Structure 1
Amino acid sequence: MKRYSREHQRLMATWAAGCAERVLPLFERAHPEDGRPRRAIEVCRSWVDTGVFRMAEIRGASLDAHAAARTAKGNDDAACFAARAAGQAVATAHVPQHAFGGSYYALKAVAAADREQPETAATTEREWQAQQLSDDLKQEFLARVIIETRRTGIFITVRKDEDF
C-alpha cells in the first residue's frame, strides 16, 4: 500500500471533505433531519485542523454516514451517494486512499442528480475536483478516478493497483 506523508494525508482529507460537502445538499434536501453525513465532514475537518485522531470517533462518524446512505438507498441514489462521500471523506483520517472514495461517490451523486446530462455533470465536477489538488496528487487522482461512457451509460470507477 502506498504511503503518504502526514501533510499529504491532511490535504487529501481536506479535499475529500470538500468533494463531499459540495454534494451534501443532495442528501440534506431529501433527509433534512439526518445530520450524520454533515457530522462526518465536521469530524474530518476537525482531525485536519487539530491532528487529534480518535479511532472510535473517526470510525463512528464514517459508519454513521454509511448508515445514513442505506436509509436513502433505493429512494434517491443521489442522496445515498452524497452520504457515502461523507463517510469516505472522514475515513481518510485512518487510510488516505479513502479520499478517492469521497471523490468517487461525489461524482456518482452528481451524475445521479442530473438525469438529463449525467456525463457532463460528472465530468465538470471531476474537473473541479482536480483543480483543488496539488500537481502531484492531481496526477494520481486523474489516473485513479475515471469516468467512462459506455453503451449502457456513464461508468465511474476507482482504479486500484498494488499501491492502493
Structure 2
Amino acid sequence: MAGETSEIALSKQDLRAVTAFAAACAAAVLDIFEADQPDDSRPRDAIDTAWDFARGGERGKALRDTAWAALKAAKCVDTAAAREAARAAMSAAGAAYLHPLAKATQVKHILGAAAHAARAAELAANDDRTVGAAHLEQAMSRAAPAVVGVLARFPAAPGGGGRVGELFRTLDAGLRTRAVATPEDH
C-alpha cells in the first residue's frame, strides 16, 4: 500500500541505550541552562528521568511530562544557548519514545539531544563552530555500539533544521561511517 512505512525491530534495551546516550549528551550542557535559570529544575528533571529509564525504569508518563516541561523551560530563558540546552534535555527524555518506523524523522529521537547540546555549546562560546564540532566528536565517542547499531537501522537524517539540523546531519553521517567500519550483529 502506498505511504506505508515499514517497522524496525527495537527492543527495550535498544531504547535504554539510545536514552542513556541522549541523557549523557544533554547533561554535558545542563550547566549552560542552569547559569541562565538557576531556580528552574525542569531540564535537570528531564535528564534525571531519562537516566531513570535508561537504568531500568519504566517508560511512562514521567518521561513525557518532564520532556514537555523542559520544552516549556526553553521558552523562559534569556539566552539562545540556554534555550538549546533545555531542548537537549527535552530530547533526552523524548529519546525513550523512538518509534519503530523506518522514517528519517525518527533519527531525531536518537541524535536530537546531541545536536541541541552541540548548538548550546557553540552559542555559549559566541557561536564558535569549532566548539560545536568538538561536542559532536565527544558525542561520537560517547555513542555505544548499541546506539550506532540502532541508528544504522533507520534512514539517514532529514534535511532542514537550520544550524541544529546541520549538526544533526554531521553527527548522523559520522556515526553511520563508524557503523560501516565496525558492523554490529543485531
TM-score class, shorter-chain normalisation, is: 0.7 to 0.9
Q: Residue in 2 aligned with 1:125?
A: 135
Aligned with 1:32 (options 27, 33, 38): 38
Q: 103, 110, 120: which is aligned to 2:121?
A: 110
> In structure 1, what is the equivalent of residue 85 of structure 2?
82
- Alignment match, 1:46: 52
For the residues of structure 1 that align with 2:52 and 2:145, how far apart are their CA atoms? 25
Match of 1:70 among 75, 80, 93: 75
> What letter is aligned with 2:112?
G
Match of 1:149 in 2: none
Report the Cα offset of residue 135 of structure 1: 3.9
The answer as to 2:163 corresponding to 1:155 is: yes
The change in CA–CA distance for 1:53 and 1:155 in structure 2 (over 3 A counts) is closer
Task: For structure 1, list consecutive stretches of 5 or more residues without a partner in the other structure.
Answer: 147-153
Instruction: Give 1:145 shift.
Output: 9.4
Range that drifts further, 91-100 or 25-34? 91-100
Task: Provide the secondary structure at the position in 2 that maps to 1:155.
Answer: helix
Rg larger in structure: 2
Aligned mate of 1:19, from 25, 40, 58: 25
More strand by share: 1
TM-score, structure 1 normalization: 0.79
Q: Identify unmatched segments of 5+ residues in structure 2.
A: 1-6, 100-106, 173-186
Identity %: 27
Q: What's the CA shift string for 1:74-121, capped at 9, x where partnerless?
A: x301100000100110111122641311111111101111116x2110
Corresponding residue of 2:95:
92
Work out which of the residue numbers 59, 68, 83 in structure 1 matches 2:64.
59
After TM superposition, give the deviation of residue 44 of structure 1 in Å: 0.7
Equivalent-residue separation in structure 2 for 1:95 and 1:13 (angstroms): 9
Instruction: Name the CA shift for 1:92/1:50 in 2 (closer, same or farther; >3 Å).
Output: same
- In the alignment of these two chains, the number of paired residues is 148
